[in-house]
Amino acid sequence: MTSSRKINYSTPPVGLQTGMPYLSLTLSREHHSVDVSALVDSGSTLNVLPYSVGVQLGLDWHSQTFPLPSLVGNLKGLQALGVIL
């Protein structure tokens, strides 16, 4: 038997009103934490973390060495740096 849990989603902040499901999350890394709203995308194999959120979490983006696949779609051709939280 599998267990399940109902996850409530919230309305995104003003300016992000799209009718899409968002979750309020707290991202944590070491002694840093950031409250964010994230779009639910259950089919995604890769999630995008804004540069500014990474900075708030204390990341040094240029020292990240986690390998990433080539980006496609709207992100095609952009530099991508990987991080695991």
Percent of the chain predicted with pLDDT > 70: 78
| pTM of the shown model | 0.61
Between CA 46 and CA 64 the distance in angstroms is: 16
**Could you tell me the pLDDT band of residue 1, with boundaries at 50, 70 and 90?**
very low
Facing residues of 37 across strands?
A: 24
**Residue 3 CB partners (closer than 8 Å, separation 6+):** none
- pLDDT tens column, 19-60: 777 788 898 988 999 998 887 877 777 777 888 888 899 988
Which tens digits make up the pLDDT trace of 8-20?
Answer: 555 555 545 567 7
From the number of C-beta atoms within 10 Å of its C-beta (0-12, 13-18, 19+), residue 56 rates as middle
For 80, other C-beta atoms within 10 Å of its C-beta total 13
* Backbone conformation region of residue 45, classed left if phi is above 0, alpha if psi is from -120 to 50, else beta: alpha
pLDDT at 32 (0 to 100) = 92
